[in-house]
């Protein structure tokens, strides 16, 4: 393969040989000598006062070194767990959160004590012996109930349950509604979801008392931020803490924020002077790994009878859980993206964050953007249905077509071609043919539905200015370092960190192409705070390529430019007279005068440098994007609903997406497959449910929480349009979340389309057979 | 209270003293150092811990080590000779049948048992064979493709193991 063609090629993944042979390096695979095992004692109540903890029996159990509670950890850890402003700069009630409950526990699963023992079985045994005396307190579970005046408080000392309440104004909403000929309203539920990476969380910490250094291995999307937070809490200089995250078995947002155990394990290691490890069980994962979604929307759309969209008014009630998630307010971006790909005269969006006695919510794949898209695409379909217009035609009538397009809240979509992706998707799915089949099926009483979702997302976080507020001071940019080693291989470091996205491969493709090197001479490193630039910003929000990939590209260009100057010196030519092709600098017009970049690299460590040039061939670059990036596309789902059972059969799923230029099509397709599957899962299967009376979780295992199996996900038909992003030199956008952002709306729109002859206009998620059957019964009675 | 257990792991005979409650998966991972068998749940839903016991796929988080007395256990590390790949491994690689790779060993082990019984499964049969394994990354689309590709390679006899990294 010619080295200059790596970008855009289906390069097989370099991370795979170790993963398919059982030689991955996941958190539980590390077994240092002298390892101790931590088990966590968790509150079984949604809300309780902790009256007394009797450690006696547990402390005396075999193999137990320590039983630790909040009192012990307060001597080790300062401050409270972080909450960032994200999209809601002004919060109302932000309860302080310490990693372990003291006098009051506020959700089922909150840590109350930990046991550290020589063996995981013994730690688990001893955890059963910790006697905690609770006084159960009234709990509030439903977010809308939590808003009611005089209801129970999620925290006994709280003023109320309101975490935030703010309204985004995007134009004159009254004027838009005043003109309307049609109005539709809907209440749309975004159920709580468990992200469920197949590798649960895990933390291993090794504190060395002799040099006051701490190393933490954990399964994380965000090792540098974790170092920042944990070093601060432990009172250690950031430079003395190393956080390492090797292979990460999926994250989907759930491994961005710090968790209680990320603090408790290092603190326990410092108390005991030994390596300590905690590995989450799946039951703990479903119960305590931050949930996603958990929102209730009420929305009203205004339009003209000819299909012109006018106004959208919505309220997002967001179930925060018992504490604000570190990046929980990011989900308010659903409000800012509620207008989707359409021109609206005005949008008004209110977001209310509500505290309840449940595990916190935080970003989960898409985080706010699936919710915004789902709402927008449902409302657009409702308008189409109301005025009897084909949903594809209504979309076309209102698409934004001039780019850059500034939406109602001042966000600038960098590039787009919404007609292009919709037209291609309609063609691929054979839309008119399906409409005919639908018509015929209806005559026989069969319920076939076709659902569209034309989506856009904001991703690629930075830029630095708008995101400085979002993180509480540290701007989201990305850092990379390129090092040419003397013998001519390249080590590339980046501050993002993959959890299955294949960055080892795609990022190496970028570096190899920019430097004209073969892929095997480029080594990509990430996930270790001891290596590379001083800070890294992690992988989430489909930012890795558009920001991290660009940082790598920039650093590689700096290195290449220096190599050019050195090559010119060695070849006694002017740098401008050199051409760089296939990794070789050659003097124009003189085929005998050339140096490979690897020869130049060696020379950079030798005696013959031009005056003023420092030794070495390496560079650190930061990329601060001038804008977000705005991928988009069109998904179309065809379903048949069984009138008798309410079961939904997915007949066809077509997705035409556009993420700008593509580095590796194979990986883009894989990201879409997985993302679409997660959106289908939300639409049809998954829901974290709590009993409204007791406040206890009802879906605590993978038997109750329905992650789809291979039998639930059909073949997916994908295609692509390519509209390069003008935001970065590579012309790339993000694709990690696209599938999830688009797909729940396509599936639910299809189901609603199928059910429309029965007068059913809306179905909440998950659209389980039971839920649909009930709607059909109600409609027919 | 330890009990003696005799078994073979990837062709190596072992005689070990184990606690009766030691799960097979922990024995394989921590006693044998075979960390390719993963624990993704503790309730036998996810299948990440699938190994072969006398050729039959078993979720090793749901089996005690002492129950494996006299058995030949094959883990992902033992599926192909060191430095080589089983056709399923090659197919997962070529078809992009994995992303994070955490569930992959379980899928490959379950698929190897399926193909041993049914060398040319339909989509439906493939689904039945792999419904005990969960993947959160791939949407299963490329897993299906990979297993079909491996089945074809094995049927057509082009199943000679390939070199890792090749």
pLDDT digits (tens, 9 = 90+) for A131-176: 999 999 999 999 999 999 999 999 999 999 999 999 999 999 999 9
Q: What pLDDT score was predicted for residue A691?
A: 97
Q: Measured between alpha carbons, how far is A270 from A72 in angstroms, rounded to an integer? A: 11
CA nearest to A368, candidates A633, A737, A637: A737
Question: Domain boundaries in chain B?
Answer: 3-78, 84-163
CA nearest to A579, candidates A590, A566, A588: A588
Mean per-residue pLDDT, A446-462: 97
Closest-CA residue of chain A to B82: A21
Q: At what angle do helices A418-429 and A431-443 cross, to 10 degrees?
A: 50
B138 vs A674: CB contact, 8 Å cut-off?
yes
Burial classification of residue A304, based on how many CB atoms lie within 10 Å of its CB (0-12 exposed, 13-18 middle, 19 or more buried): middle
Q: Measured between alpha carbons, how far is A701 from B42 in angstroms, rounded to an integer? A: 9
Best B76, B91, B100 residue to mutate vs chain A (most A CBs within 10 Å): B100
Mean per-residue pLDDT, A723-752: 98
pLDDT class for A180, splitting at 50, 70, 90?
A: very high
B101 vs A247: CB contact, 8 Å cut-off?
yes
Q: B6: how many CB neighbours lie within 10 A of its CB?
A: 12
Mean of all residue pLDDT scores within chain A = 97
B98 vs A12: CB contact, 8 Å cut-off?
no
Closest-CA residue of chain A to B128: A711
Do B3-78 and B84-163 fold alike per CATH? Answer: no
Domains along the sequence of chain A with CATH: 3-21+478-623 (3.30.365.10), 31-137+198-250+255-288 (3.90.1170.50), 368-461+628-780 (3.30.365.10)
- For A155-166, the three-class secondary structure string (H helix, E strand, C coil) is CCCCCCCEEEEE
B20-61 confidence digits (pLDDT tens)? 999 999 999 999 999 999 999 988 999 999 999 999 999 999
B134 vs A716: CB contact, 8 Å cut-off?
no
| A1 has pLDDT over 50 | no
Q: What pLDDT score was predicted for residue A611?
A: 96
Q: What pLDDT score was predicted for residue B159?
A: 57
Q: A206 or A470: which carries more pLDDT confidence?
A: A206
Closest-CA residue of chain A to B20: A121
CB contact set of B28 (below 8 Å; sequence gap of 6+)? B9, B34, B37, B51, B60, B73, B75
Residue where the block lists tokens 């001038």? A626
CB contact set of A468 (below 8 Å; sequence gap of 6+)? A474, A475
Mean per-residue pLDDT, A723-743: 98
Query: Is the separation of the CB atoms in A460 and A543 below 8 Å?
Result: yes
For A524, the token pair is 């990509």
Q: Which residues of B touch A16 (CB under 8 A)?
A: 92-93, 98, 101
Q: Which residues of B touch A667 (CB under 8 A)?
A: 96
pLDDT class for A3, splitting at 50, 70, 90?
A: very low
B38 vs A12: CB contact, 8 Å cut-off?
no
CATH of domain B84-163: 1.10.150.120
* A–B interface: beta-carbon pairs under 8 A: 183
Closest-CA residue of chain B to A670: B138
CATH 3.30.70.2660 assigned to domain B3-78? The reply is no
Mean of all residue pLDDT scores within chain B = 95
Q: Which residues of B touch A666 (CB under 8 A)?
A: 96
Q: What pLDDT score was predicted for residue A4?
A: 55
B128-142 confidence digits (pLDDT tens)? 999 999 999 999 999
What is the percent of chain A with per-residue pLDDT over 90, rounded to a whole number?
97
Residue A732 DSSP code: B
Query: Is the separation of the CB atoms in B117 and B50 below 8 Å?
Result: no
- For chain B, the three-class secondary structure string (H helix, E strand, C coil) is CCEEEEEEECCEEEEEEECCCCEHHHHHHHHCCCCCCCCCCCCCCCCCCEEEECCEEEEHHHCEHHHHCCCEEECHHHCCCCCEECHHHHHHHHCCCCCCCCCHHHHHHHHHHHHHHCCCCCHHHHHHHHCCCCCCCCCCHHHHHHHHHHHHHHHCCCCCCEECCC
A198 vs B46: CB contact, 8 Å cut-off?
yes
CA nearest to A14, candidates A529, A507, A499: A507
Q: Measured between alpha carbons, how far is A290 from A359 in angstroms, rounded to an integer? A: 6
Which of B34, B104, B139 minimises the CB distance to A20?
Answer: B104
Which of B108, B144, B164 minimises the CB distance to A17?
Answer: B164
Q: What pLDDT score was predicted for residue B166?
A: 39
A475-505 confidence digits (pLDDT tens)? 899 999 999 999 999 999 999 999 999 999 9
Closest-CA residue of chain A to B44: A702
In degrees, rounded to 5, the angle at the alpha carbon of residue A443 between the alpha carbons of residues A438 and A449 is: 25
pLDDT class for B72, splitting at 50, 70, 90?
A: very high
- Whether residue B81 lies within 8 A of chain A, CB to CB, comes out as no
Q: Which residues of A touch B127 (CB under 8 A)?
A: 709-711
Q: What pLDDT score was predicted for residue B157?
A: 85
The predicted complex's ipTM stands at: 0.97
With a CB-CB cutoff of 8 Å, which residues 114-153 of chain B face chain A?
126-128, 130-144
Q: Measured between alpha carbons, how far is A565 from A578 in angstroms, rounded to an integer? A: 9
Q: What are phi and psi of A531, to 5 degrees?
A: -120, 155
Helices (runs of H) and strands (runs of E) counted in chain A: 21, 28
Q: What pLDDT score was predicted for residue A739?
A: 98
């Amino acid at each position: 393969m010619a080295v200059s063609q790596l970008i855009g090629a289906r390069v097989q993944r370099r991370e795979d040989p170790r993963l398919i042979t059982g030689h991955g390096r996941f958190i539980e695979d590390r077994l240092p000598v002298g390892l101790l095992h931590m088990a966590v004692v968790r509150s079984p109540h949604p809300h309780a006062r902790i009256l007394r903890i009797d450690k006696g029996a547990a402390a005396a159990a075999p193999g137990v070194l320590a039983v630790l509670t909040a009192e012990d950890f307060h001597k080790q850890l300062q401050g409270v767990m972080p909450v960032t402003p994200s999209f809601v700069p002004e919060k109302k009630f932000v309860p302080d959160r310490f990693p372990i409950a003291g006098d009051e526990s506020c959700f089922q699963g909150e840590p109350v004590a930990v046991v550290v023992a020589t063996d995981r079985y013994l730690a688990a045994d001893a955890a059963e012996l910790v006697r905690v005396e609770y006084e159960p307190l009234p709990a509030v579970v439903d977010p809308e109930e939590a808003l009611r005046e005089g209801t129970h408080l999620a925290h006994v000392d709280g003023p109320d349950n309101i975490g935030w309440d703010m309204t985004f104004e995007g134009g004159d909403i009254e004027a838009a509604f005043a003109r309307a000929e049609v109005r539709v309203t809907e209440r749309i539920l975004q159920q709580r979801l468990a992200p469920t990476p197949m590798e649960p969380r895990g933390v291993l910490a090794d504190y060395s008392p002799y040099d006051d250094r701490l190393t933490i291995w954990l399964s994380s999307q965000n090792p540098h931020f974790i170092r920042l937070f944990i070093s601060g809490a432990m009172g250690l200089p950031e430079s003395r803490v190393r956080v390492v995250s090797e292979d990460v078995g999926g994250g989907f947002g759930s491994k961005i924020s710090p968790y209680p155990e990320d603090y408790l394990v290092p603190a326990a290691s410092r108390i005991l002077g030994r390596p300590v490890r905690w590995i989450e069980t799946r039951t703990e994962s479903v119960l305590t790994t931050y949930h996603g979604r958990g929102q209730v929307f009420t929305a009203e759309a205004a339009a003209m009878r000819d299909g012109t969209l006018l106004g959208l008014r919505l309220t997002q009630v967001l179930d925060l859980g018992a504490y604000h998630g570190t990046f929980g307010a990011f989900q308010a971006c659903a409000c800012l993206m509620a207008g989707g790909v359409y021109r609206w005269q005005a949008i008004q969006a209110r977001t209310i964050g509500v505290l309840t006695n449940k595990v916190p919510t935080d970003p989960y794949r898409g985080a706010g953007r699936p919710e915004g898209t789902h709402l927008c695409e449902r409302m657009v379909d409702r308008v189409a249905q109301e005025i009897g217009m084909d949903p594809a035609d209504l979309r076309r009538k209102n698409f934004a077509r001039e780019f850059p397009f500034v939406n109602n809240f001042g966000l600038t979509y960098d590039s787009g071609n919404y007609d292009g992706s919709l037209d291609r998707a309609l063609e691929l799915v054979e839309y008119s043919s399906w409409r005919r089949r639908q018509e015929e099926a209806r005559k026989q009483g069969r319920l076939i539905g076709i659902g569209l979702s034309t989506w856009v997302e904001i991703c690629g976080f930075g830029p630095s200015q708008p995101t400085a507020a979002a993180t509480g001071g540290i701007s989201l940019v990305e850092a990379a370092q390129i090092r040419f080693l003397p013998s001519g291989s390249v080590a590339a470091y980046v501050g993002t960190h993959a959890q299955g996205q294949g960055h080892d491969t795609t990022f190496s493709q970028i570096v190899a192409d920019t430097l004209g090197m073969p892929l095997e001479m480029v080594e990509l490193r990430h996930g270790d705070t001891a290596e590379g630039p001083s800070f890294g910003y992690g992988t989430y929000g489909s930012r890795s390529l558009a920001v991290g990939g660009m940082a790598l590209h920039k650093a590689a260009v700096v290195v290449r430019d220096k190599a050019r100057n050195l090559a010119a010196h060695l070849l006694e030519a002017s740098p401008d007279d050199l051409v760089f092709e296939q990794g070789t600098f050659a003097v124009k017009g003189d085929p005998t005068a050339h140096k490979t970049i690897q020869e130049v690299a060696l020379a950079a460590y030798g005696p013959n440098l031009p005056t003023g040039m420092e030794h070495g061939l390496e560079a650190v670059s930061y990329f601060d994007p001038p804008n977000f990036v705005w991928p988009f596309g069109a998904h179309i789902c065809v379903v048949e609903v069984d009138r008798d059972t309410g079961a939904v059969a997915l007949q066809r799923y077509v997705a035409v997406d556009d993420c700008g230029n593509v580095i590796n099509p194979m990986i883009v397709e894989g990201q879409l497959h997985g993302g679409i599957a997660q959106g289908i899962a939300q639409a049809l299967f998954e829901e974290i449910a709590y009993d409204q009376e007791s406040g206890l979780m009802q879906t605590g295992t993978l038997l109750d929480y329905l992650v789809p199996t291979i039998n639930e996900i059909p073949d997916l038909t994908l295609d692509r349009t390519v509209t390069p992003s003008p935001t970065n030199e590579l012309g790339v956008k993000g694709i990690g979340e696209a599938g999830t952002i688009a797909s729940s709306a396509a599936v639910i729109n299809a189901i609603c389309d199928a059910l429309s002859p029965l007068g059913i206009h809306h179905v909440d998620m998950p659209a389980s057979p039971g839920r649909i059957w009930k709607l059909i019964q109600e409609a027919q009675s | 209270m330890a009990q003696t257990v005799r078994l073979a792991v990837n062709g190596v005979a072992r005689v070990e003293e184990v606690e009766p409650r030691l799960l097979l998966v922990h024995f394989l991972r921590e006693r044998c150092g075979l960390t390719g068998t993963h624990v993704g749940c503790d309730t036998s839903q996810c299948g990440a811990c699938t190994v072969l016991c006398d050729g039959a796929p078993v979720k090793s988080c749901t089996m005690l080590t002492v129950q494996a007395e006299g058995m030949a256990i094959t883990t992902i590390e033992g599926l192909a000779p060191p430095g080589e790949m089983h056709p399923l491994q090659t197919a997962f690689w070529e078809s992009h049948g994995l992303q994070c790779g955490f569930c992959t060993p379980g899928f490959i082990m379950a698929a190897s048992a399926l193909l041993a019984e049914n060398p040319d499964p339909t989509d439906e049969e493939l689904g039945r064979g792999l419904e005990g394994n969960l993947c959160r990354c791939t949407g299963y689309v490329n897993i299906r493709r990979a297993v079909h590709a491996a089945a074809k390679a094995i049927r057509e006899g082009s199943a000679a193991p390939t070199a890792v990294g090749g």
